[in-house]
């Protein structure tokens, strides 16, 4: 288990138990593969997520992963990456706690991150979303050397002030980001926006890509 000692004085596995009497819990209604909950405890408000497989692998096991060492568990890897990003002022949720349960050659895992209030996914906010603010958030992530494995219209949240937040860093990595890798990340977002909103999504991505390109040119001149 890993946890933020500034937020948690009495760590325990209750932090990852959605039926724990030590937590106030409400199920997340959308996303999370029915394994995510809004939770409240001494640490404040958070989101608890149990790691679940998707796709064909879920038919073999919905929540078990191959054991390759503590640092490579999904929960510890995401916790450490979020800690790195949050310390650098990037717009990501603060990590609160992470854990894994080993069972021989497999393990299960869970994480708790700080809840961001009054946000909507970009998928629901294209008319109000600010291209420059979203581009800035993605560019800052890339400049920090972070590659997002699933940059889509639901993993970018916009708050009431229009600030863009990036979430869901499961399987994401710190890499040396070439222009090709940056472009591939943005193209993944384009596919998501087209799937969500068709030609309107494509148009929105075009404005976003233009804003990102301007940042690249401006920063390159500094």
Instruction: Centre a 10 Å sphere on the Cβ of residue 143 and count the other Cβ atoms it contains.
Output: 15
Distance of CA 138 to the CA centre of its chain: 12
Distance (Å, whole) CA 144 – CA 187: 19
Distance (Å, whole) CA 220 – CA 214: 10
93 closest CA partner among 147, 38, 167, 8: 167
Distance (Å, whole) CA 193 – CA 188: 9
User: Which residues lie closer than 8 Å to 81 by C-beta, 6 or more apart?
Assistant: 146, 169, 172, 173, 174
User: Which residues lie closer than 8 Å to 205 by C-beta, 6 or more apart?
Assistant: 186, 189, 190, 193, 194
Whether 150 sits among the annotated catalytic residues: the reply is yes
Among 17, 150, 159, 170, which one carries the catalytic annotation? 150
Q: Tally the C-alpha atoms within 13 A of residue 80's C-alpha that lie toward its C-beta.
A: 13
Instruction: Centre a 10 Å sphere on the Cβ of residue 88 and count the other Cβ atoms it contains.
Output: 13
Q: Could you give the residue numbers annotated as active site? A: 150
């Amino acid at each position: 288990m890993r946890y933020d000692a500034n937020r948690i004085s009495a760590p325990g596995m209750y932090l990852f138990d959605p039926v724990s009497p030590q937590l106030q819990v409400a199920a997340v209604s959308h996303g999370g593969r029915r394994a995510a909950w809004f939770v409240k405890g001494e640490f404040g408000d958070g989101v608890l997520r149990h790691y679940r497989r998707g796709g064909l692998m879920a038919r073999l096991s919905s929540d078990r992963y191959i054991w390759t060492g503590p640092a490579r568990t999904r929960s510890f890897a995401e916790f450490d990456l979020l800690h790195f990003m949050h310390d650098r002022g990037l717009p990501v949720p603060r990590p609160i706690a992470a854990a894994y349960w080993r069972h021989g050659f497999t393990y299960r895992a869970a994480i708790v991150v700080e809840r961001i209030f009054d946000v909507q996914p970009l998928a629901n906010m294209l008319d109000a979303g600010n291209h420059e603010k979203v581009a800035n958030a993605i560019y800052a992530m890339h400049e920090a050397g972070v590659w997002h494995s699933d940059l889509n219209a639901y993993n970018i949240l916009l708050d009431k002030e229009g600030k863009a937040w990036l979430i869901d860093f499961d399987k994401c990595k710190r890499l040396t980001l070439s222009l090709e890798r940056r472009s591939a990340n943005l193209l993944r977002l384009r596919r998501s926006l087209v799937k969500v909103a068709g030609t309107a999504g494509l148009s929105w991505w075009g404005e976003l890509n233009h804003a990102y390109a301007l940042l690249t040119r401006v920063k390159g001149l500094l």
